[in-house]
Amino acid sequence: MNATTTTPVRVSATDALGTIGAENVHVVDQLRDTSAGTLDAAAERLQRAERVFVLGAGRSGLALKMTAMRLMHLGLDVHVVGEVTAPAITRGDVLLVASGSGTTGAIVRAAEMAATVGVGIVALTTDGGSPLARLAEVTVVIPAAAKQDHGGPLSEQYSGGLFEQSVLLVGDALFHTLWKASGATAEELWPRHANLE
């Protein structure tokens, strides 16, 4: 039997939603106050890319796949690392990568390889001093709890939930910035939406 047991706490789904929403608002407010220039630099770097490759592990990777879809709707040449149709990454491309800790082995190794061929790296992480951040041309430091920060002051959520939600929000903000800068209407983007569903 586990020596460290806790007493169950009854939390309604509505209360949980309020907690999650409040934590996300707090992250957004901090990013707006401290990272506005960095977010704009990330958007500008994506805009200049010949192709965009996205990479993240687990739920962070799933959030970046949503960003990849939006960037594709915008008309960018986008690839998800690890998909069988993803080509080789080369100079002129950008790797958009997420790792809460900035130390995830496979993610850091991929970024190292990308850096050796002269690829621009845009990193989303909670640790601006991490190996991933040191490889990046642009690092967006997300003020959220890292995956192993259980019960810390930054989030009540389980195992990196706030970071992963923030990756989605930052990805949508980058897309929205590029979309508005393009002058394209939603109707002009819509034909790129998948029609084999």
Query: pLDDT tens for residues 57-90?
Result: 999 999 999 999 999 999 999 999 999 999 999 9
Q: State percent of the chain over pLDDT 90.
A: 84
Domain range for 68: 17-182
**Residue 177 within any structural domain of the chain:** yes
Per-residue pLDDT of the chain (197 residues; tens, 9 = 90+): 455 677 888 989 999 999 999 999 999 999 999 888 999 999 999 999 999 999 999 999 999 999 999 999 999 999 999 999 999 999 999 999 999 999 999 999 999 999 999 999 999 999 999 999 999 999 999 999 876 666 667 888 988 899 999 999 999 999 999 999 999 999 999 999 999 97
Which residues are identified as catalytic?
Answer: 164
Given a contact cutoff of 8 angstroms between Cβ atoms, the answer to whether 194 and 73 are in contact is no
Can you tell me which residue has the tokens 């903000």? 173
CA distance 36 to 19: 25
The answer to whether residue 63 is domain-embedded is yes
**10 in a domain, yes or no?**
no
Distance between CA atoms of residues 24 and 29, nearest Å: 9
Give this prediction's pTM.
Answer: 0.92
Nearest-5° Cα angle at 86, 84 to 90: 145
CATH number of the domain bearing residue 115: 3.40.50.10490
Determine, yes or no, domain membership for 89.
yes
Indicate whether 7 belongs to any domain.
Answer: no
What is the number of structural domains in the chain? 1
